[in-house]
Amino acid sequence: MRVSTLRRSFLGLSLPLLFASLLPGSVQAAGDARITGLWKLVSYEVEVRSTGKTIPVMGAHPAGFAYFTPEGRVFFNLTGEGRKPAFTDKERAALLDTMVSYTGRFTVTGNQWTAKLDAAWNPSWVGTEQTRSFEIVDTRLRVLTPWRLMPNWAEEGETRSIVTFERASDI
């Protein structure tokens, strides 16, 4: 492809995206630059709706990452502190309570993203849309889920997750 053809193709694609991103209240393009990139998990707490208590369900030092691609795909792999290899069916099943993992296409509107999941650690999430509110302060991404019954800690009743990440790298 010749340079002039490439330049016309690039300008033809980029100008509409630029103008659309400037409209107030418009849906941002997938891959919103504010969240695009790699984020390292710092903490994962849940707030219990019935009591207001906050629980560090993944421990004081959970591990994991979230990655938002410029093309609009998100990958989450979050694990609790102190996980050990499992040798029995019961131990393997218990590991699911200290893990959250999914991927899907996402879009951003204002300070919320919605991901349509096509793979997840919990099969009941596949095909669902998961919406999260977020705020970014300096290099921290704070994520808040809606109130729901989370399969990992269903015994607590309705909870919402408060998940904090630190920017690991820019793309």
Q: Could you read off the pLDDT tens digit of each residue along the chain, which spans 171 residues?
A: 443 433 333 334 333 333 333 334 444 456 799 999 999 999 999 999 999 999 999 999 999 999 999 999 999 999 999 999 999 999 999 999 899 999 999 999 999 999 999 999 999 999 999 999 999 999 999 999 999 998 888 889 999 999 999 999 755
Residue 141 corresponds to which tokens in the numbers above?
């991404």
- pLDDT (0 to 100) of residue 31: 72
Helix, coil or strand: residue 4: helix
148 secondary structure, DSSP code: B
Torsion of CA 27, 32, 34, 35, to 10 degrees: 120
- pLDDT (0 to 100) of residue 152: 82
Q: For the whole model, what pTM was predicted?
A: 0.78
- Residues 81 and 34: their CA atoms lie apart, in Å, by 28
- pLDDT (0 to 100) of residue 30: 64
Question: Which sequence spans correspond to the domains of the chain?
Answer: 1-25, 31-169
- pLDDT (0 to 100) of residue 6: 36
- pLDDT (0 to 100) of residue 169: 73
**CB neighbourhood size of 101 (10 A):** 16
Residue with tokens 């095909």: 127
- pLDDT (0 to 100) of residue 154: 87
- pLDDT (0 to 100) of residue 150: 85
Helix, coil or strand: residue 55: strand
- Which superfamily does CATH assign the domain made up of 31-169 to? Uncharacterised protein PF14869 family, DUF4488 (2.40.128.490)
